[in-house]
Structure 1
Amino acid sequence: MITLNDYLYSGDTILRILHNYIHDLRAEAKKTHNEVDMIHCNFLILIRELLEHNDFLTAQSQQIREFYKYMSREYPFLAFTFKGRIKSLIRAEEKFNGYVVEYIYDYYTEHGEYPPLADLKNRLSCFRDFIAYRIVISMPRCHLKSEADREQEELKYLYQIANVLPGFLEERGFTAESAHGVRKSGSPLLNEDVKPYYRDYIHGTDSDGYQSLHITFYDNSSRSYMEVQLRTKTMDDIAEIGSANHLGYEKKQESERARRDAIPKGECIYFDEAYERGMKLLGLELSKLDVNMFSAVNNSLINDGCGLYRGRLILPYEHLSRFQNDLID
């Protein structure tokens, strides 16, 4: 079985690793008639093309910057940040294999049989967050009558911004994608005409405390999808360094994927291979990898300039309330 791990000790660049992994995985898929591995190859090709031919990101980020300028005019009293990133190779590979494992496991436990290949292939066609932007807002204390007002004030403005975003970007060549009923918002603060596009993780919080609004757009110029997340600073802190941080998310995923005993080994090659690839990735010791331009002391202290682990930042903007300093003695 071909795995990404086999290519992470060669000293090659990310693009060279992707080229070799795709080539060998495709050859193996043709030899074994593995249709999921062929989809896997197409998935990796998309990542390679994003890293190789990313001139479109300049035009795309310029349109996002226009919304940043709009917010600066409309909400001068808010502090906010805009960030964008391309999903990293390891994260993308984890997600692909995780989708295979989770879909087959859920289907098998519910129906007592494995899903039709067509259903599995359809599940694997829904990657929309290779490119993602995040808008994080905060209401400075100097604009609040009381700290107790912060949550409601920030929610009010967050949903106002969410109501405007789809129309704003659609005028600039983007198309909002339907969320297909996933986490449809029940909030009265979100307009009815935009509710079908948002996945609302705020109204009805998950047990881990994660909160965010997610919306997907299709960029008609670059012919690619992008996801936009909207959060308050408190929500972002919880997601990044609090109870819902990505490490906690990964541990949750690890425990879910570890339910190996539920699927008899050898009965479903798609599950077996995706499970093994996922477990190998979760067990990586980053300090031992030999990837050009990548250096890691351990799994926490990492210098990655090529999108191997954390992903490449493509849009950093920060706006501080222009009145904030004027109102503080």
Structure 2
Amino acid sequence: MKKLNNYLYSGDTVLKILQRYAEDLKQSAKETHNQIDLLHCNFLLQIAELLQHNEFLTSQSQRIREFYKLMANEYPFLAFTFKGRIKSLIRAEAKFNGYIVEYIYEYYIKHGNYPSLPELKNYLNCFRDLIAYRIVISLPKCHLKEGEICADEENKYLYDVANKLLDFLEERGFTAELSSFMGQKKSPLLRESVSPYYRDYVANPESSGYRSLHITFYDNIARCYVEVQLRTKEMDDFAEIGPANHLGYEKRQESERVKRDAIPKGENIYFDDAYERGIMLQQLELSKLDVNMFSAMNNSLVNDGCGLYRGRLILPYEHLSKFQNDLID
């Protein structure tokens, strides 16, 4: 079985690693008639194309940057950042295999047998976040009125931004996708006309405490899907450097072991392959990898300028709050 891990010690560039892995996986898939591995190859080629930063990404980021200009005019008192990234190779690979494991496990628990090949292939067409943009806002305390609570006021602005975002991007070639988030609470701050498109983890926090607003668009000009996340600084800190980030790893490992115990090895080749690839990725020691432009002291101290682990940044933009007029001479 071909695994990404086998290609991460050659000193090659990320694009060369992707090319070699995809070519070898395709050859193996033909020999074994493994249609899921062929689908996997196409997924890898899609990442390779994105990482080359083709012209459509420049066009896309420029159109999204127009919303930054709107926010700078409408919310001069807010501090906020816009970031765009292409999902990293390691995390994309982990997610692809994780989707296979999750789908087969949940199907087996529900039905007592395994999904058909067409069902599994159809499920694996669900990737929408290889390109993602994040808007993070913060309201400096100097702008709070007496009696106002910062978190409450930031939430109001967050939903206000969300209400404006959908129409703005749809006027510029994007089409919002209906959310598959079922049974969610409805925030009164989110307009009824836009609510069906958002996955609202602010009104519906995850068990880890993670909160954010997520919406997916299809870019009709670039012909690809993009995800946009909206958070306050507090939400972003919690997700990136707080419990939602650190505790999630151990919970994921425990969850994977439960799935492996439920499905005996050898009963489903697609589950077996995806599970092993996922476990191998979890066990990577980043400091020992040899990839051009990548270096790491350990799994926390990472310098990644090539889209291997952290993703490739395509839109860094920052607006500082205009508070000077609030200063007292």
Name the residue aligned to 2:69: 69
Name the residue aligned to 1:268: 268
1:5-20 mapped onto 2 (5 Å cutoff):
5-20=5-20
CA distance in 1: counterparts of 2:53 and 2:310, whole angstroms: 20
CA distance in 2: counterparts of 1:60 and 1:284, whole angstroms: 33
**2:61 paired with 1:42:** no
Length, aligned pairs only: 327
**Cα distance, 1:39 vs structure 2:** 1.0
CA distance in 2: counterparts of 1:298 and 1:65, whole angstroms: 34
**2:148 paired with 1:117:** no
Name the residue aligned to 2:175: 175
Alignment check: 8 A CA contact 2:51 2:312 kept: no
Name the residue aligned to 2:297: 297
**Cα distance, 1:53 vs structure 2:** 4.6
Alignment check: 8 A CA contact 1:141 1:147 kept: no
Instruction: Give the TM-score normalised by the residue count of structure 2.
Output: 0.96
1:52-67 mapped onto 2 (5 Å cutoff):
52-67=52-67
Alignment check: 8 A CA contact 1:156 1:189 kept: yes
- Percent identity of equivalent pairs: 67
Alignment check: 8 A CA contact 1:185 1:195 kept: no
Alignment check: 8 A CA contact 1:84 1:131 kept: yes
**Cα distance, 1:249 vs structure 2:** 2.8
**2:309 paired with 1:309:** yes
Moved more, 168-177 or 288-297: 288-297
**Cα distance, 1:147 vs structure 2:** 7.3
Equivalent AA in structure 2 for residue 230 of structure 1? L
**Cα distance, 1:198 vs structure 2:** 0.6
Tell me the C-alpha RMSD between the 2 structures: 1.4
1:179-190 mapped onto 2 (5 Å cutoff):
179-182=179-182, 184-190=184-190
**Cα distance, 1:149 vs structure 2:** 1.5
4+ long deviations beyond 6 Å: none
1:1-329 mapped onto 2 (5 Å cutoff):
1-146=1-146, 149-182=149-182, 184-245=184-245, 247-259=246-258, 260-322=260-322, 324-329=323-328
CA distance in 1: counterparts of 2:135 and 2:205, whole angstroms: 19
Alignment check: 8 A CA contact 1:174 1:220 kept: yes
CA distance in 2: counterparts of 1:243 and 1:233, whole angstroms: 15
Equivalent AA in structure 1 for residue 4 of structure 2? L
**Cα distance, 1:180 vs structure 2:** 2.9
Give 5+ residue unaligned stretches, structure 2: none
Describe the SS at the equivalent of 2:314. Answer: strand
Change over 3 Å in CA distance of 1:181–1:238 after alignment to 2: closer
Change over 3 Å in CA distance of 1:249–1:122 after alignment to 2: farther
Equivalent AA in structure 1 for residue 178 of structure 2? S
**Cα distance, 1:86 vs structure 2:** 0.7
CA distance in 1: counterparts of 2:170 and 2:181, whole angstroms: 21
